[in-house]
């Protein structure tokens, strides 16, 4: 089996010009640099339109793309925007940080201008796009337009007639807000047009895209509003039970995520049709699909709707291997990564084995001095070939930040595993990268923050917190020749160079 490696970097974190990373020239430049340093993969975070809190794991749609990713430079080249208009907008002035509030108030008016100047209704490619994607696009566009009518409120707080999708209400809103709906369709057209171009370019350079999809959809999403039968909702389309995780050593009250849970009995009756559509679509968007919270297919934690803590929740059985047999039968062999982190039971391990998908290993989980044996699944000498290893993920500390936060005994254990007690701490991230790169795991993905040796001020996400996450961006100055020379040297040294 070929040994491969890649870089984890959210599209939002690219150093694009107008306040947030997008499908602009900088994305193509990053692909070129990945090729130069022998990488095979660029792993990104979910591309969906984000809700309040700006998390890509809480999206208004599981199928739609985030309009923030549309390159304004491309629209300038098309002649539907001007440099002066884009330059006059206030996107914030910190190249290493995303100001999402300014992004919202600056970007959408520009995109609306582009739409109004585009004569898009006359474009045969746009008409074809709408026809081919009507099974999700129309509901999403109507959902977003109606959400604007109700001042951005969650759909569960809309007027009853449109909340419950009564026929006369659907007709009224689709007629009255025709151009607002078409605007959202236009943005999806430009998103997929630009993303397809970027992905095709990456593939032509030997770079494959690892996409990321959450297991759950947001309650406030077009998916839940348009297909309530898929979820555990009551006759008023309000949630009966919601997702989360139980109390553990990290939290005595557990976590309440709030996502609606699936009606797996209904999905089973349909032959998992919605899931087949979802995964088929994702496999067209990406070359490899990472499914977040894979253990939820084995068992999922159910919390009564309205609960403030997870204390009263309980475990329920998920669809298990039956779902993935249906996927293989309908779609063939697809490249999927199972995010099997956290509390993993024997039945979860068996599900991952039965699926044949590679599981994930995170180095930061390996060093627990309370269990100082050598049997940890996360210690590099125990990685199976069919696995994907990370120093950390978007939810973890950077390696340098982690070294500053762990206990003295854990730090000592990590140092001893490295057989290195003298290297200054600030230089250790490279040692840990080398540790996983020389492991037996077929695929190795490193967050770019760790190659840069950055601390936790550059962390992407701190779970269970809001307001400070998903904002970090790498600067053009950080993406210099020295960085990619270092990445290339490490990649070649441990036999992971992409010779294609």
Residue 24 in 3-state DSSP?
Answer: coil
CA distance 240 to 417: 48
Structure tokens belonging to residue 20: 């947030």
CA distances from 138 to 12, 41, 112, 256 (A): 26, 33, 18, 31
Q: Which residue has the tokens 């236009």?
A: 186
Residue 248 catalytic? no
Residue 292 catalytic? yes
- DSSP state, 390? E
CA distance 382 to 374: 9
> Which of 29, 322, 395, 455 is the catalytic position?
395
Question: What is the number of other CB atoms lying within 10 angstroms of the CB of residue 323?
Answer: 20
- Residue 430, judged by CB atoms within 10 A of its CB (0-12, 13-18, 19+), counts as middle
CA distance 346 to 198: 40
CA distance 435 to 101: 40
**First-to-last CA distance in the chain?**
15
Residue 300 in 3-state DSSP?
Answer: strand
Residue 139 catalytic? no
> Which of 73, 180, 287, 292 is the catalytic position?
292
- The strand pairing partners of 299, in sequence order, are 317
103-107, long-range: CB < 8 A, 24+ apart = 103/19, 103/20, 103/68, 106/19, 107/18, 107/19, 107/67, 107/68, 107/72
Residue 53 in 3-state DSSP?
Answer: coil
CA proximity to 147, closest of 156, 155, 139, 137: 155
CA distance 374 to 133: 51
> Which of 54, 180, 182, 339 is the catalytic position?
339
Structure tokens belonging to residue 263: 């009606």
- Return the active site residues: 292, 339, 395
């Amino acid at each position: 089996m070929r040994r491969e490696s890649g870089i984890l970097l959210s599209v939002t974190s690219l150093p694009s010009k107008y306040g947030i990373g997008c499908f602009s020239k900088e994305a193509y430049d990053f692909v070129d640099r990945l090729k130069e340093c022998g990488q095979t993969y660029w792993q990104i975070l979910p591309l969906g339109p984000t809700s309040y809190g700006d998390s890509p794991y809480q999206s208004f749609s599981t199928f739609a793309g985030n309009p923030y990713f549309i390159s304004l430079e491309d629209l300038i080249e098309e002649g539907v925007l001007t440099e002066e208009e884009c330059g006059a907008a206030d996107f914030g002035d910190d190249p290493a940080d995303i100001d999402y509030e300014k992004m919202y108030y600056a970007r959408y008016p520009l995109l609306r201008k582009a739409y109004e100047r585009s004569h898009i209704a006359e474009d045969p490619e746009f008409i074809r796009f709408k026809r081919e994607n009507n099974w999700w696009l129309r509901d999403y566009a109507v959902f977003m337009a109606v959400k604007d009518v109700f001042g951005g409120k969650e759909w569960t707080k809309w007027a009853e007639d449109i909340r419950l999708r009564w026929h006369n209400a659907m007709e009224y809103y689709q007629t009255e807000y025709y151009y607002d709906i078409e605007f959202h369709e236009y943005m999806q057209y430009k998103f997929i047009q630009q993303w397809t171009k970027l992905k095709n370019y990456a593939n032509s350079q030997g770079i494959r895209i690892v996409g990321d999809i959450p297991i759950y959809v947001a309650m406030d999403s077009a998916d839940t509003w348009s297909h309530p039968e898929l979820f555990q909702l009551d006759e008023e389309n309000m949630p009966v039970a919601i997702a989360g995780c139980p109390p553990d050593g990290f939290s005595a009250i557990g976590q309440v995520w709030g996502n609606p849970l699936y009606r797996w009995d209904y999905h089973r009756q349909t032959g998992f049709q919605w899931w087949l559509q979802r995964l088929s679509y994702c496999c067209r968007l990406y070359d490899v699909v990472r499914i977040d919270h894979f253990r939820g297919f084995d068992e999922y934690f159910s919390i009564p709707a309205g609960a403030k803590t997870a204390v009263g929740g309980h475990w329920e059985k998920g669809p298990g291997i039956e779902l993935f047999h249906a996927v293989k039968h309908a779609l063939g062999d697809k490249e999927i990564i199972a995010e099997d982190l956290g509390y993993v039971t024997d039945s979860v391990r068996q599900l991952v084995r039965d699926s044949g998908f590679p599981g994930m290993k995170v180095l930061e989980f390996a060093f627990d001095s309370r269990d100082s044996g050598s049997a940890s699944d996360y210690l590099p000498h125990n990685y199976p070939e069919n696995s994907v290893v990370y120093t950390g993920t978007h939810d973890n500390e950077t390696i340098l930040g982690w070294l500053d936060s762990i206990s003295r005994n854990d730090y000592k254990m990590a140092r001893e595993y490295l057989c290195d007690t003298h290297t200054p701490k600030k230089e250790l991230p490279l040692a840990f990268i080398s540790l996983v790169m020389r492991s037996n795991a077929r695929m190795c993905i490193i967050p770019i923050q760790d190659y840069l040796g950055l601390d936790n001020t550059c962390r992407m996400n701190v779970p269970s917190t809001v307001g400070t996450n998903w904002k970090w961006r790498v600067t053009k100055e950080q993406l210099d020749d020295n960085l990619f020379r270092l990445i290339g040297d490490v990649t070649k040294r441990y036999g992971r160079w992409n010779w294609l």
